[in-house]
Structure 1
Amino acid sequence: MARPSAVPRNFATLQSLQVARGTTRRDSLYAALVALINDGVFSSGDALPSTRQLAEQLSLSRNTVISAYRRLVLDGLASSEERSVFRVSEMVRPRHLPKAGLPGTLPPDPDKGKTSLPGSVSSLPRIHKDKNWRIAEYPFIYGQCDPATFPTANWRSVLRDLNSLNGISVWTREVYDEDDPELIDALRRVILPQQGLWAQEDEILITGGAQNALFMITRLLASGGQKAVVEDPGYTDMTSILRMNGAEVTFVPVDQEGLITDAIPAGSDLIYCTPERQFPTSVRMSLRRREALIERATREGFYVIEDGYDSELPFQGNILPCLRAMAPGERMIHVGSFSKTLAPGLRAGYVVASREIIAELRLLRRLIMRNPSTYIQAAIGRFIRSGYYNAHLQKLRSTYHGRYKALTTTLRHLLPDAGFMPVRGGTSVWLTLPEGIRAAPLYENLLARGVFVENGDAFFVAPPERSCLRLGYSSIRAQLIPRGIEIIAEEVSALRK
């Protein structure tokens, strides 16, 4: 019989392992053992170190080690033998399979490196998002959340319920093309009425975020050379989605009242707009413009996709009804998501439209992804039903209002010749830089000093007369904002010289 193996060096790291809140030493040891088995340190059939030896090496009680080993046995990763010998299960597969393929070397591929894929999208424009924003000292990055603002305790309470025996039966079954009824009901009774919108169950579809919704709507309505209109500046990804589906795209400028509806070309088939919080300037479309857009859509027969991002985050002033609330007909399509109010990583959104459009989108969604995560749907539905969501929104609005005031107060003081449009809510400020200052070199200089912003010029079809930056405040703490703006002012001053 094989003797228990010696304790590998890898276990030395366990001595400094930080036991997370809510876990035990046994659970930490168990996780380390599983990792070593997965990494191939212990292979199928290997004897594990003796419980006494491992306990002495790691300064743990022997009972703790025995308990961790027994859990490995229960989970099918190990087996126990006489004299307290534990061995890695024969069912554990090797981490690396032998390399497959024909012997010898293949001739060099003359087309290697060339894009020959018929459906390639690599040439389409896209907004650059620096993946290192989390380590930035001053992350004025848009679209990310501050973990400190996430309702961790209440979210954990909902997940605990979902992970119970009764809860598991809700989200583990195959639902085909159905949506979570509790989330649909929560949208109908809580979320949508706050925007003046009322809808029936068959007028709502859950999606894998707003982006997924926009892609499916475009595939349904603009995949045959239709004439589409987007805002300028605007959402670059939407332009790419339209173009890859074969639409002919026209850009219409925005001003202090939002999309200039009089500039929409006659004969347009589809309009994409962001009325409540124009992307990226955060300007709100006036009631006058909303009415004019609805009148033209009704008269000329084009569809309007209304992206309601950030619409649940007003922190002052009155709330205007969304376009579909003003004209709940076939031509108005409302898109929303939980990315800005909960977290973008949840990838949960929704579409509100006519029954006919929702029925078609449901069939299309089934072909693309079948259905969004039933677990996430159930969690959000219960989170809203429990009253946690509205309580969270109130805190979030207050937090963002405080950050907005800190940002704009400092901007007025340190960059008086820069311009920005005051907003009533949302998560970002659109900053027009002083004359002669270009966003590209400023962006690079700020990056070197740990200040992450967004180059606003990338949202325009053509370079604007005066460069712009977008400053997000959803992921930066209020106390860091003044110093971050001070660095921006210093770099602007340096570029003037």
Structure 2
Amino acid sequence: MGISVDTFFLKPGGQGTLQAQIQQMIAEGILSGRFHVGEKLPSSRKLAAHLGVSRITVTLAYTELLANDYLTAKGRSGYYVSQNAPVPPKYTPVQRSEETVNWDAALARRFSDGDFLAKPPDWREYSYPFIYGQADRTLFDHANWRLCAVRALGHKDFDSLTGDYVDQDDPLLIEFIARHTLPRRGIAARPEEILITLGAQNALWLTSRILLGHGRKAAIEDPSYYALHELMRCSDASMTPLRVDKDGLPPESIPDGTDVIYTTPSHQCPTTATMPVARRHDLLKRARELDAMIVEDDYEFEMAFLGAPSPALKSLDKDGRVVYVGSFSKSLFPGLRLGYMVGSEPFIREARALRSLVFRHPPGHIQRTAAYFLSLGHYDAQIRRMSKALMQRRKTIEDAIEANGLTVAGRGVFGGSSMWMKAPDHVDTAELAKTLQNQSVHIEPGAAFFSGPDRPRNYYRLGYSSISADRIPAGIERVAAVIRAC
């Protein structure tokens, strides 16, 4: 029995080459059980005419499936589903009775009711996406990233691709971070003092599990990274939110008895305030008085396009009490989920052991691809390209904000990729965001960044890393118009 040619169609916007799409289409048909062993496929000529592709494309797809034992060829009669093709499992779904588990009693902890910022999956379809922290495909060097990924798949790197590092990391990536990335922040570190993480958030989680616990006290900025609130709650430590000012976290506000201080001195999250060098010294002095540890989240230092950034807090630390957290999420792309943590060797030793209990290490192929991308100079070229674009967008958004009478609550001294905004007191920016979505505008409400029950609801964030400069003015006009109508 033959499989009808009408069964096959190419999906609009399908990923990969036409050959790959045809291979996937046939493989999915076999794996799903729609195509059965022994059934004949349409001839390459007939399928090519039906799909509107060249015959050689179909022939190559068939040949690849033949090599992988999905198909078999019978002389001149054509291609058939192979006897050795993967067979879909046969099962009868179990009809479950009504669940009787008392989940209120069964769950020892809850994580789903915490603060988060919803990022619509179709945000790229918005006309005015003032979204923060997402990659701009027009700025990313996809061609060279792909070449680095292919190189990392080569025979020479077979061990880094397939091996289990156990609790270690790619030595090439560690070497680049130690020799090139950290010196830009004034930090000197040995390989034993560096740990690769699944982004900055993973690094913050590791620090909370190692440095905090029942009876410990943590000081965090208010407002601050919204996920940090939940990390503190899950650590069983007591948390003291400290209101930031135009220069970031005031050291004198840190209460006695504090064990760990979380801070974002270079680009305060989310206000983007930059902590002056004098205050950084005061913060280290206060931590020394308290014998407290400091976790420095330097998540956006590469975005300093308006001037050289201030030295990292870690670079000024003589006691070894600062744990430095960096990330490639903003400078490369967030889906990479690759960051790093720098600290004294005893701390990194514990972090490495804890990480190995959870996921051992970030995937070796991702680490090696990133190492090639960085070491071959592609990363620096991308940073220069991004900085130029962000500088233009920064000027455009500032001009548009001023022209429309909106209020800026915070802007980075050296750059960054967002503006922290304040609407009139009566405006709930969560409702504002919903209204703007209907006009193809995305903004981020600010309430989630604050601590406590009486959170201000009139703040919002405008990211400009993923919106082209020519779209910014019209988008800001729409934001201003809706605010005026509130």
Q: Do the structures match in fold with TM over 0.5? A: yes
- Rate the CA distance shift 1:359–1:466 in 2: closer, same or farther, 3 A: closer
Q: Pick from 459, 464, 471: which aligns with 1:468?
A: 459
- Rate the CA distance shift 1:70–1:249 in 2: closer, same or farther, 3 A: same
Check if 1:86 corresponds to 2:74: no
Residue of structure 2 in register with 1:68 after alignment: 61
After the TM superposition, which residues 341-356 of structure 1 pair with which residues of structure 2 at under 5 Å, given as runs? 341-356=331-346
Residue of structure 2 in register with 1:237 after alignment: 227
* 1:488 partner amino acid: V
Residue of structure 2 in register with 1:164 after alignment: 154
Deviations 1:264-315 (A, max 9, x none): 1100011111000000000011212211110111222111000001111101
Check if 1:10 corresponds to 2:3: no
SS of structure 1 residue aligned to 2:76 = helix
Contact 1:329 1:354 in 2 (8 A): no
- Rate the CA distance shift 1:372–1:328 in 2: closer, same or farther, 3 A: farther
Distance 1:65 1:444 in 2: 47
After the TM superposition, which residues 312-331 of structure 1 pair with which residues of structure 2 at under 5 Å, given as runs? 312-331=302-321
Distance 2:120 2:19 in 1: 39
Q: Pick from 444, 448, 468: which aligns with 1:477?
A: 468
Check if 1:370 corresponds to 2:360: yes
Distance 1:109 1:33 in 2: 39
Check if 1:29 corresponds to 2:29: no
Deviations 1:32-59 (A, max 9, x none): 3223323433123322234454355446
Distance 2:462 2:13 in 1: 36
After the TM superposition, which residues 114-193 of structure 1 pair with which residues of structure 2 at under 5 Å, given as runs? 114=104, 116-193=106-183
Contact 2:296 2:313 in 1 (8 A): yes
SS of structure 2 residue aligned to 1:198 = coil
After the TM superposition, which residues 188-267 of structure 1 pair with which residues of structure 2 at under 5 Å, given as runs? 188-267=178-257
SS of structure 2 residue aligned to 1:351 = strand
Structure 1: runs of 5+ lacking an equivalent: none
Q: CA deviation at 1:85?
A: 3.4
SS of structure 2 residue aligned to 1:444 = helix
Q: CA deviation at 1:392?
A: 1.1
After the TM superposition, which residues 412-423 of structure 1 pair with which residues of structure 2 at under 5 Å, given as runs? 412-415=402-405, 419-421=409-411, 423=413
Q: CA deviation at 1:8?
A: 3.6
Deviations 1:80-138 (A, max 9, x none): 2233332212333344531254xxx5543355775731122123333333333222111
Distance 2:159 2:341 in 1: 26
The range that moved more, 113-122 or 54-63, is: 54-63
* 2:7 partner amino acid: N
Contact 2:411 2:418 in 1 (8 A): no
Distance 2:143 2:341 in 1: 29
Contact 1:205 1:362 in 2 (8 A): yes
After the TM superposition, which residues 435-454 of structure 1 pair with which residues of structure 2 at under 5 Å, given as runs? 435-454=425-444
Distance 2:126 2:443 in 1: 10
Q: CA deviation at 1:422?
A: 5.4
* 2:65 partner amino acid: L
* 1:377 partner amino acid: Q
CA RMSD, 1 decimal: 2.3
Q: Taking structure 1 as the reference length, what is the TM-score of the superposition?
A: 0.91
Contact 1:7 1:54 in 2 (8 A): no
Q: Taking structure 2 as the reference length, what is the TM-score of the superposition?
A: 0.93
Distance 1:165 1:54 in 2: 36
Q: CA deviation at 1:417?
A: 5.3
Residue of structure 2 in register with 1:46 after alignment: 39
- Rate the CA distance shift 1:312–1:88 in 2: closer, same or farther, 3 A: same
Contact 2:30 2:86 in 1 (8 A): no
SS of structure 2 residue aligned to 1:175 = coil
SS of structure 1 residue aligned to 2:289 = helix
Residue of structure 2 in register with 1:407 after alignment: 397
Q: CA deviation at 1:469?
A: 1.1
Structure 2: runs of 5+ lacking an equivalent: none
Q: Pick from 476, 483, 486: which aligns with 1:492?
A: 483
Deviations 1:388-431 (A, max 9, x none): 11111111111111111100111011115555445321110001
* 1:187 partner amino acid: I
* 1:233 partner amino acid: P
> How many pairs does the alignment contain?
485
The range that moved more, 76-85 or 257-266, is: 76-85
Distance 1:269 1:422 in 2: 29
Check if 1:99 corresponds to 2:92: yes
Residue of structure 1 in register with 2:347 after alignment: 357
* 1:87 partner amino acid: Y
Distance 2:196 2:293 in 1: 20
Q: Pick from 355, 360, 375: which aligns with 1:385?
A: 375
* 1:477 partner amino acid: S
Contact 1:432 1:466 in 2 (8 A): no
Distance 2:312 2:168 in 1: 26
- Rate the CA distance shift 1:327–1:94 in 2: closer, same or farther, 3 A: same
Distance 1:225 1:332 in 2: 21
Distance 2:13 2:455 in 1: 51
Contact 2:214 2:236 in 1 (8 A): yes
Contact 2:117 2:444 in 1 (8 A): no
Contact 1:418 1:434 in 2 (8 A): no
- Rate the CA distance shift 1:62–1:278 in 2: closer, same or farther, 3 A: closer
